[in-house]
Amino acid sequence: MPGLTAPSDYAEEPPRHPDLKINSKEPFNAEPHRSALVASYITPVDFFYKRNHGPIPKVEDLSRYTVSISGLVNKSIQLSMGDIWALPKYNVTATLQCAGNRRTAMSNVRKVRGVGWDISALGTATWGGAKLSDVLELVGIPKLSSVTSLGGKHVEFVSVDKCKEEKGGPYTASIPLKQATDPDADVLLAYEMNGEVLNRDHGYPLRVVVPGVIGARSVKWLDSINIKEEECQGFFMQKDYKMFPPTVDWDNINWSTRRPQMDFPVQSAICTLEDVDVIKEGKARIAGYALSGGGRGIERVDISSDGGKTWVEARRYQKDNVAYVSDGPQSDKWAWVLFEATLDIPANAEILAKAVDSAANVQPEKVEDIWNLRGILNTSWHRIKIQNSSSVGRSKM
């Protein structure tokens, strides 16, 4: 029996928390309810969104599991879990965000193709594992390499799951060698999540975590690593997760004209209210998350309760008793920033949130301007409509 196998049906899926909101059952795609999402800085594993493209792989015998490294290297190797555990272990707190987060709101403007997600297709975990830069040294690739002696420029990750989009083949993705061999990029081969052994849904026994980049590149159930001259040609790199302008639709798309999305742009959302909600007029606590890609910090989160006429700056925080400073040495650069503000909510208010990152990037105002046929990267201002606030007695405070 090989170490890691992929079932072809959904008969052996792992147990999941009953409070998750299921967006698709087979493959299993689910997110927590928005109010649960910002209850803690570190997302409990049970409430971490689950994004799959096929049945969940299984390990029959961990002692037989290996990950191979081959391609444009002088000598291919096979690493066991023992070999991976023997490397220095790093804990990196990083947010994974699916590129389809907030897709449902984009599809309300114009139909898009893809699983519908509310605002919770993201979560923050402390990932434990070996640095990919250390692993690649085992095949003779030095740190901070852009190209191997044999011309390799990309690191491809191959899984074992059977994905419909790949006609039953496995999920694949790649990142540039430069990023993979940079110890400061913190790319991990992770075997732990929040101090526990990674569970099946999140990639047991070993997954890639690429901080600051859309979740699609963090390949779960890692089977092999290939060093290649070109980036990965798989479906999820070349025919998906690319950002097209609003003028491109399914009848005029040319996938090769755009590059695969890597970093995610600045994003924020309010989690204490539904998009259309009812609260009493008066003071209310508004809280949510903000994050940006590429390790950029969050410089500011602005909240408006009058549809954008006036704004207040929300308090930003990560860990208790540690002041959050955008790009400061004490702040987790790969993780989201939570925010809160107490605002006076007038009758029939429109509450807005927008974040600014440390490179002064701001979220776009309107979803219409960034509509794209796959419904990815909806980072438009988050808008909440408060209805009948004076006539209904339900408070969210």
Binding site for ligand MTE (CB under 6 A): 48-53, 96, 98, 159, 161, 171, 202, 215-216, 218-221
Minimal distance in Å, beta carbon 125 to ligand MTE? 9
- The residue assigned the tokens 């039953």 is 168
Which is nearer to ligand MTE, 50 or 316 (by Cβ)?
50
Residue nearest to ligand MTE (CB): 215
Minimal distance in Å, beta carbon 52 to ligand MTE? 5
Which is nearer to ligand MTE, 60 or 344 (by Cβ)?
60
Minimal distance in Å, beta carbon 345 to ligand MTE? 33
Which is nearer to ligand MTE, 81 or 160 (by Cβ)?
160
- The residue assigned the tokens 């508004």 is 286
The tokens of 249 are what? 């639709």
Minimal distance in Å, beta carbon 163 to ligand MTE? 6
Find residue 182's DSSP bridge partners.
Answer: none
Round to whole Å and give the CA distance between 250 and 112: 10
Cβ neighbourhood burial of 163 (10 Å; 0-12, 13-18, 19+): buried
Minimal distance in Å, beta carbon 202 to ligand MTE? 4
Which is nearer to ligand MTE, 175 or 352 (by Cβ)?
175
Amino acid, single-letter form, for residue 150: L
Which is nearer to ligand MTE, 114 or 288 (by Cβ)?
114
Find residue 174's DSSP bridge partners.
Answer: 156
Minimal distance in Å, beta carbon 6 to ligand MTE? 9
Query: E strand or H helix at 71, and its extent?
Result: strand 66-71
- One DSSP character per residue, 263-313 reads B---EEEE-SS-SEE---SEEEEEEEEEE-STT--EEEEEEESSTTSS-EE
Closest CA to 56 of 195, 198, 194, 190: 198
Minimal distance in Å, beta carbon 239 to ligand MTE? 13
Which is nearer to ligand MTE, 166 or 332 (by Cβ)?
166
Minimal distance in Å, beta carbon 318 to ligand MTE? 20
Which is nearer to ligand MTE, 104 or 304 (by Cβ)?
104
Task: Give the C-alpha distances (Å, rounded to integers) separating 125 from 40, 195, 211, 261, 327.
Answer: 11, 9, 11, 22, 19
List CB contacts of 107: < 8 A, sequence separation 6 or more: 116, 375
Round to whole Å and give the CA distance between 359 and 304: 22
Which is nearer to ligand MTE, 221 or 339 (by Cβ)?
221
